[in-house]
Structure formats: C-alpha cells, structure tokens
Amino acid sequence: MAIDALVFVIGIYVLALVIALFVGVVIVAIRRLTAERVKVAAAGAESSAKAKEATT
C-alpha cells in the first residue's frame, strides 16, 4: 500500500515540477515581451529625437 502511495506521489511531484516550470516559462515570456517593448520605445524615442534634430 505504501509502495502504491509512493508511486502515486511521485506522479504528483513530476506534475508539480512541470506546472512550476511552466510558471518559469511565463516569467521568461513576460521579461522578453517587456524587454522588446523597452527596446521599441527606446528606438522610437531615438528616431523622434533625430527627426526633431533634423527639423531644427
């Protein structure tokens, strides 16, 4: 009975690991997306500054 319980609980451990790693993937995705947005915003600011410089 304890062996059955051990097998049962190892399955739960593996499932918990997979879900936890999925949370890690979500975090990495958020970091990538926000980093992209920062880059785009920085590039936008740079080009608008250049445009402003050209008009003056």
Partner 1 sequence: MNFSLINELPRIFEGVSSFGQMDVQTVVIRLALIAVGLALIYLSAKEILDPLILMPMGLAMALVNGAILTMDGRLTNLFVDPMLAKPDDVVNSMQIFFLQPIYNLTFSNSLIACLVFMGIGVITDLDFLIARPFTSILIAVAAELGSILTFPLAVLFGFTYKEAAAIAIVGGADGPMVLFTSLELAKDLFVPIAVVAYVYLSITYAVYPYMIKLLVPKRMQGIVMDLRSIPKVSSRQKLAFAVLAGTVLSLLLPVAAPLFASFFIGVMVKEANIPRYRKFLDEVVLTGSSFFLGFVLGALLSVSVVTDPRIVYILILGMIALLLSGIGGLIAGVIAYWLSGGKTNPLVGIAGVSCVPTTAKVAQKCAFAVNKKAIILPFAMGPNVAGVITTAIIAGIYVGLLRGA
Binding site for partner 1 (CB under 8 A): 1-3, 5-6, 8-10, 12-13, 15-17, 19-24, 26-28, 30-31, 34
When the beta carbons of 30 and 43 are compared against partner 1, the nearer one is: 30
Cα distances (Å, whole numbers) of residue 42 to 17, 39, 49, 56? 37, 5, 11, 21
DSSP for residue 56 = -
CB of 44 to partner 1, least distance (A): 17
Tokens of 40: 């785009």
CB of 54 to partner 1, least distance (A): 32
Question: Where do we find the tokens 């080009």?
Answer: 47
